[in-house]
Amino acid sequence: MMKAAGPFDMYHETIGKLAGNGIILLAGDPPNPMTIGWGTLGEIWHMPIFTVLVRPTRFTFGLMEKARDFTVCVLPEGYKKHLAICGSKSGRDMDKIKVCGFTLGQSANVGTPFITQSAFHYECRIVHKHRLDPSVLDKAIDHKYYQTKDWHMVYYGEIMGTFVNSEIV
């Protein structure tokens, strides 16, 4: 059963998973899951905001450019293989939802669904985006991460709802 939670109730778990095997950014219609390791959870404009960073080379990028919202789905332990598939295979070539055996549930606040196997998920409405600007980016970071000049697009999602799966958490 999905139970509503506060936007920052799962903060430490979320940051831990981002730095670990990753979490899932789900976007598009039909929805495509992509593993992400970079992102932030915090408050901007007196709103709870989840930022996600997507390189323009990803299939997800085209989906996000057309999207009004997205969900961030945090899988429980035991999904390492699924996160590896969603972080190495492209939705251009396969239906990752099907390959991973994920099932989708209807979100309460946004059009994008969520993965029902998640321990918890965030429902986010896109309120801003910008491309990283190499002219004002630290040179060492630019050299280390952007040799192919595929600077991330940063999407700011207002967190409209956070839901915890009480059967898992």
Ligand X SMILES: Cc1cc2nc3c(=O)[nH]c(=O)nc-3n(C[C@H](O)[C@H](O)[C@H](O)COP(=O)(O)O)c2cc1C
163 CB-near residues (< 8 Å, 6+ apart)? 2, 3, 4, 5, 108, 114, 120, 121, 123
- Applying CB under 6 A, the site for ligand X has a residue count of 19
Which 34-63 residues touch ligand X, going by CB under 6 A? 34-38, 53-55, 58-60
CB of 123 to ligand X, least distance (A): 19
Which 135-154 residues touch ligand X, going by CB under 6 A? none
Report the 3 state secondary structure along 84-118: HHHCCCCCCCCCHHHHHCCCEECCCCCCCCEECCC
Nearest CA to 69 out of 34, 36, 31, 40 is that of: 31
For ligand X, which residue has the nearest CB?
87
Query: Does residue number 32 form part of the binding site for ligand X (CB under 6 A)?
Result: yes
Residues facing 44 on adjacent strands: 47
Nearer to ligand X, 2 or 26 (CB): 26
Nearer to ligand X, 63 or 159 (CB): 63
Residues that bind ligand X in the complex, under the rule CB under 6 A: 22, 32, 34-38, 53-55, 58-60, 87-92
